[in-house]
């Protein structure tokens, strides 16, 4: 099998490329390096089953050629990170909506299966925990730019499901919850790489808001294994499936855990959301997935807990100073 990964030089995409190559597949990557990096795929270049193209999902002829040349597409290219969404909402909306339209349109011509990487952001501030794929979506008003991300990814999901149902294009939609691991950068907001680098430098850990909001963090290795299996399993077709972890922590607990595991002298500093992001910023209080669908289809259960995640991130940050 030959897979095209859009966004394959990104944090998750590059780990997925490795996972597929290890599984004996051929991998082709398309990435515009907006948030991805050649460094992420440097170690793969020597593999004869691997190829990459620097380019955009907005370039239709290029996209058509790469999709033609592949058996199936992992569509991971998207605007990423809360920081980037707040700073460049136009880019977020256009990349997510037009980019996904392009991928689905081109894949449909040759009926190449598409796995769409969606996000737990889609649940917005729903209070129906744990988040179930069939649960209602609760997002805020359009004057708060953060919700453009959730909304644009929800449109992507609608479109993928519509292609599957009315055009018979095989699709599978995976809602990724907070994913962490080596190669992830804190530049676009992600809390664990930020806390780990702050802790290793004995700097203050920047907890936003009161720190009582919760998240569940999953290791990227568990995530990419699940992506591969969901693409390859026929029962994933036409479905929306959560992937992540259920180990829920508050951001305050997370900060304390990072300090303890890295042996840091750091202290915690609380920063109001309006100072960290902008006056119109809104955060979600809790986020936890129901993982029953993934368990039923691919027998999914994350194997790496939060301590392993923090230790792996710390080892990576020690070896790769920013
Ligand atoms: N956060 C924080 N300090 C930081 C970066 C993020 O307290 O330096 C918080 C953020 O406000 C959110 C949580 O950590 O409540 C997770 O943030 P992240 O951007 O990693 O992912 P999100 O779940 O918001 O998409």
Q: Is 149 a catalytic residue?
A: yes
Q: Which of 175, 215, 313 to mutate to test the pocket of ligand 1 (most atoms within 8 A of CB)?
A: 215
> Mean pLDDT in the chain?
96
CA of 191 to the centre of ligand 1 (A): 5
pLDDT at residue 218 in the model = 98
DSSP string across 49-68:
TEEEEE--TT-HHHHHHHHH
Nearest CA to ligand 1 atom 25: 82
pTM of structure: 0.97
pLDDT in tens, 252-294: 999 999 999 999 999 999 999 999 988 888 889 999 999 999 9
Percent of the chain with pLDDT over 90: 91
- Residue 87: band (very low, low, confident or very high) from pLDDT cuts 50, 70, 90: confident
CB atoms within 10 A of CB 230: 23
Q: According to the model, what pLDDT value does residue 278 have?
A: 86
Q: Does 106 score more than 90 pLDDT?
A: yes
- Closest C-alpha residue for ligand 1 atom 20: 190
Listed in sequence order, the residues at least 6 apart from 48 whose beta carbon sits closer than 8 Å to its beta carbon are none
CB 243 within 8 A of CB 223: yes
Phi first, then psi, for residue 288 (nearest 5°) are: -150, 130
Per-residue pLDDT at 146 exceeds 90? no
Given the residues 3, 123, 149, 277, the one annotated as active site: 149
With 90 as the cut, is the pLDDT of residue 86 above it? no
Domain topology for 2-179+218-245 = Rossmann fold (3.40.50)
CA nearest ligand 1 atom 18, residue:
190
pLDDT, position 302: 98
Alpha helices in 1-138 (DSSP H): 11-22, 38-41, 60-68, 82-87, 89-110
Residue 83 has pLDDT above 90, yes or no: no
Give the model's confidence band at 80: pLDDT under 50 very low, under 70 low, under 90 confident, else very high: confident
Q: Work out the percent of the chain whose per-residue pLDDT is above 70.
A: 100
Task: Specify the DSSP element, H or E, that contains 154.
Answer: helix 146-167
Look at the alpha carbons of 224, 214, 184, 104 in this order and tell me if their dihedral is positive or negative: positive
- Return the pLDDT at 276: 92
- Distance from C-alpha of 18 to C-alpha of 286, rounded to nearest angstrom: 32
Q: Is 122 in the pocket of ligand 1 (CB under 6 A)?
A: no
Residue 208: CB within 6 Å of ligand 1?
yes
């Amino acid at each position: 099998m030959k897979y095209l990964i859009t966004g394959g030089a990104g944090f998750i995409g590059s780990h997925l490329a490795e996972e597929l190559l290890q599984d004996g597949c051929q991998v082709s990557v398309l990435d515009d390096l907006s948030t991805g990096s050649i460094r992420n795929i440097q170690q793969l270049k020597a593999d004869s089953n691997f190829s990459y193209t620097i380019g955009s999902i907005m370039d239709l002829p290029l996209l058509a050629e790469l999709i033609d040349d592949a058996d199936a597409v992992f569509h991971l290219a998207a605007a990423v990170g809360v920081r980037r969404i707040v700073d460049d909402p136009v880019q977020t909306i256009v990349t997510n909506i037009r980019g996904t339209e392009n991928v689905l349109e081109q894949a449909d011509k040759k009926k190449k299966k598409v796995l769409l990487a969606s996000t737990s952001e889609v649940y917005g501030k729903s209070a129906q925990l744990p988040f179930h794929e069939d649960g209602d979506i609760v997002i805020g008003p359009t004057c708060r730019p953060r919700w453009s991300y959730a909304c644009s990814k929800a449109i992507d999901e609608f479109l993928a499901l519509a292609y599957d149902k009315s055009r018979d294009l095989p699709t599978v939609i995976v809602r990724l919850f907070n994913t962490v691991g080596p190669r992830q950068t804190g530049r676009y907001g992600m809390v664990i790489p930020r806390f780990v680098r702050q802790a290793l430098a004995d700097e203050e850990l920047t907890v936003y808001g009161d720190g009582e909001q919760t998240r569940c963090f999953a290791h990227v290795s568990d995530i990419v294994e699940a992506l591969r299996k969901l693409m390859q399993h026929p029962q994933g077709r036409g479905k929306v499936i959560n992937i992540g972890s259920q180990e829920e922590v508050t951001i305050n607990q997370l900060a304390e855990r990072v300090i303890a595991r890295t042996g840091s002298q750091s202290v915690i500093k609380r920063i109001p959301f309006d100072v960290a992001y902008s006056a119109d910023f809104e955060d979600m209080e809790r986020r936890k997935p129901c993982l029953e669908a993934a368990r039923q289809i691919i027998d999914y259960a994350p194997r790496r807990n939060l301590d392993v995640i923090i230790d792996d991130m710390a080892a990576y940050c020690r070896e790769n100073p920013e």
